[in-house]
Amino acid sequence: MSQWIDTDVAIIGGGPAGSTTASLLRKYNPKLRVDLFERAVFPREHVGESLLPIVCTVLDEMGCWDAVEKANFPIKIGATYKWGTTADLWDFEFLGGEPFVEHARPGKFKGQRQETAFQVERSVFDDILLRNAIERGCRVHQPARVASVEKHGDAVSSLTLDDGTTVTAKHYVDASGGAGIIRRAMGVGVNEPTQLQNVAFWDYWENADWAVTIGTTATRVLVMSLPYGWIWFIPVGATRTSIGLVVPAKHYKAVGLSPEELYLRAIGEEPKIRELTEGATREGSVRGTKDWSFCADRLVGENWYLAGECAGFADPILAAGITLAMTGGRELAHTILELERGRLDRNWLKDTYQTNQITRIGQHIQFADFWYSANGQFSDLKEFTRTIAKDAGLELDANQAFQWLGTGGFTNDAQNTAGMAEFSVALLKQLAQRLTDTKVDWEINKYNLYRPNLEDATLTYSANYKGGRVERLASYNRDGKVWPMRDLFGVVFETLKTERTIEGIVNRIHSHFERSGSDPTVMVERSLEVLEVLLHEGWVVGKFNPEFRPLAAITDSNSGAVRDNTDIAAAPTPQPRVTA
């Protein structure tokens, strides 16, 4: 006999987006009935193993950073790239060039560990996150495949599971990843704003050497270009490594090789990867998927919401999929909690959730376009990179690239820094400089007097998602650009009310943070990044007066977080080997 489940929130999918939404809903409102339906029995394998530090902040909020740390995954310090104008290796490090100080594991989420990430075996990682949701009181149904979605207008009226069970809920969350169960049922279209239509092939290896071991369990992942694509090398455990190949779908079709042949040829042709896998054994079945970048046209409806990969996907070059899934799941949980409280306007809450995700996914896609179009190592893919650059309107000069990156807004995702796609402004400039091999300027260097320009701006609200609540924060809006009155953007706004000279601005911000106990030097640097963005976006107007000293901000493409690699020895050029 078929059953009926009635609940407050029904979530489809137990990946990172679904379990984050479930855990945080229950953390902040233990009375809320949350039911999650997952078609697979965990642990189940999944691609996407290299995390970014912000994921750890969300894990901490969910209450499961310690459990993930106990799994003893390699600590990710950053990545080493063969990418850009030369074949020389360079590093991007989360610790900004500070040496990593090893502590006994399991460690605590404090100090440097708040700035590092993990490389994970997804079967274990996703299972820990789902268990966390269960511990928080979410009812997880597994295996429970949602077979159909019943709708009435723009509302979901029920879900039907494979076994005939009917599920009714106040809120329906689609976190079903590529399946996009509600997205498809509600006829939501997707936008593919880029030529990035790649395919990926990967396998797991036992006992591959690590390119670099920092302390005993930390490392950087490798991203190594080939003439026709790139390889990821991600140690996910002491002896297990995920190695994958990404190539344009067109190239794969044209080359006429099987996935296995293409994959093994790539591993044999990349000297470092070949060297690291010399004494290793391959699990032996090459998995494959297409990894088209896209963004859904709509993320919310009457009583339904899209979270994680079903809302959009950005090419894996930035390793940001889980970041997008978990930050999105977090914001969705806050949105639903606030909708339940009924304190704030429903449409504003839903629109804000949607706009934030679409902006973020769009920025990541745009950034990925830049990475591909600026890679001179793709000698066989020159036409591919040229088309991406042309379609994106990209001129490969560092200043223009920086300007173009900012067309999606440097302030829209403001936490305490100006930037986009998890990169600060200074870092974006460093990367633009390194990838194009041209110098990048700072707009703030041209002036020494500044004043705010709020002409034609309207005062609206942006959202701050915190502690299970959504706070409305005043923001100025103009032509899709935002000046939020919060964090450093608020500090700069207040400062500009009384200070005009760069010296006065810097001194005032310095003493503001000296009083508040934060490192004033760091905060001044970040405030100057904010000022740079405000100048770019027209929120601040600059003037040069020879009576005052100018500023001299510089971008060094070989210092701090982005530097030439020094700890990975070059591998000998490979001789042909039998790969079958």
Q: Does 289 bind ligand FAD (CB under 6 A)?
A: yes
Residue 47 vs 71, nearer CB to ligand FAD: 47
**CA proximity to 373, closest of 364, 363, 365, 382:** 382
Which of residues 5, 9, 11, 12 is near ligand FAD by CB under 6 A?
12
Which of residues 23, 116, 165, 176 is near ligand FAD by CB under 6 A?
176
Q: Does 174 bind ligand FAD (CB under 6 A)?
A: no
Residue 309 vs 529, nearer CB to ligand FAD: 309
Q: Does 48 bind ligand FAD (CB under 6 A)?
A: yes
**CA proximity to 355, closest of 331, 338, 371, 337:** 331
| DSSP conformation letters of 438-462 | S----GGGG-SEEEE--TT-EEEEE
Which of residues 5, 11, 17, 398 is near ligand FAD by CB under 6 A?
17
| CA 196 remoteness from chain centre | 17
Among the residue ranges 35-43, 77-85, 453-461, 530-538, the one whose residues contact ligand FAD (CB under 6 A): 35-43
Q: Does 123 bind ligand FAD (CB under 6 A)?
A: no
Among the residue ranges 71-79, 319-327, 459-467, 568-576, the one whose residues contact ligand FAD (CB under 6 A): 319-327
Which x/- pattern over 56-85 shows residues binding ligand FAD (rule: CB under 6 A)? ------------------------------
Which of residues 21, 50, 225, 375 is near ligand FAD by CB under 6 A?
50
**Helix boundaries (H) for 63-186:** 65-70, 122-135, 181-185
Q: Does 40 bind ligand FAD (CB under 6 A)?
A: yes
**CA proximity to 136, closest of 288, 5, 250, 32:** 32
Q: Does 38 bind ligand FAD (CB under 6 A)?
A: yes
Which of residues 200, 236, 296, 414 is near ligand FAD by CB under 6 A?
200
Q: Which residues contact 309 (CB under 8 A, 6 or more apart)?
A: 15, 17, 177, 178, 321, 324, 325
Q: Does 37 bind ligand FAD (CB under 6 A)?
A: yes
Q: Does 13 bind ligand FAD (CB under 6 A)?
A: yes
Q: b/e string for 452-470 if b means 16 or more Cβ within 10 A? A: bbeeebeeebbbbbeebeb
Q: Are 236 and 73 in contact (CB under 8 A)?
A: yes
Which x/- pattern over 177-196 shows residues binding ligand FAD (rule: CB under 6 A)? x-x-x---------------
Q: How far is the CB of 548 from ligand FAD (least distance, A)?
A: 46
Q: Are 232 and 316 in contact (CB under 8 A)?
A: yes
Q: Are 432 and 403 in contact (CB under 8 A)?
A: no
Residue located via tokens 């590093």: 91
- What is the number of alpha carbons within 13 Å of residue 124 lying toward its C-beta? 15
Residues 137-166 touching ligand FAD, rule: CB under 6 A, are 145-146
Q: Does 229 bind ligand FAD (CB under 6 A)?
A: no
Q: Does 325 bind ligand FAD (CB under 6 A)?
A: yes
**Token digits for 213?**
């071991």
Q: How far is the CB of 505 from ligand FAD (least distance, A)?
A: 37
**CA proximity to 436, closest of 367, 371, 364:** 371
* Residues comprising the chain, all counted: 580
**Token digits for 42?**
């965990």
Among the residue ranges 173-181, 251-259, 406-414, 423-431, the one whose residues contact ligand FAD (CB under 6 A): 173-181
Residue 248 vs 321, nearer CB to ligand FAD: 321
Residue 129 vs 523, nearer CB to ligand FAD: 129
Residues 296-315 touching ligand FAD, rule: CB under 6 A, are 308-309
Q: Which residues contact 256 (CB under 8 A, 6 or more apart)?
A: none
**Token digits for 254?**
């044209």
- What is the number of alpha carbons within 13 Å of residue 534 lying toward its C-beta? 28
Q: How far is the CB of 333 from ligand FAD (least distance, A)?
A: 13
| DSSP conformation letters of 24-87 | HHHHH-TTS-EEEE-SSPSS---S--B--HHHHHHHHHHT-HHHHHHTTPPEEEEEEEE-SSSS
Q: How far is the CB of 324 from ligand FAD (least distance, A)?
A: 6
Residue 175 vs 273, nearer CB to ligand FAD: 175
Residue 323 vs 335, nearer CB to ligand FAD: 323
Q: How far is the CB of 286 from ligand FAD (least distance, A)?
A: 12
Q: Are 175 and 11 in contact (CB under 8 A)?
A: yes
Residue 225 vs 555, nearer CB to ligand FAD: 225
With H, G, I as helix, E, B as strand and everything else as coil, classify residue 414. coil
Among the residue ranges 16-24, 166-174, 532-540, 550-558, the one whose residues contact ligand FAD (CB under 6 A): 16-24
Amino acid at 127: D
Which of residues 5, 11, 18, 402 is near ligand FAD by CB under 6 A?
18
Residue 182 vs 428, nearer CB to ligand FAD: 182
Q: Does 247 bind ligand FAD (CB under 6 A)?
A: no
Q: What angle do CA 397, 403, 407 make, to 5 degrees?
A: 135
Residues that bind ligand FAD (CB under 6 A): 12-18, 37-40, 46-51, 145-146, 175-177, 179, 181, 200, 289, 291, 308-309, 316, 319-323, 325
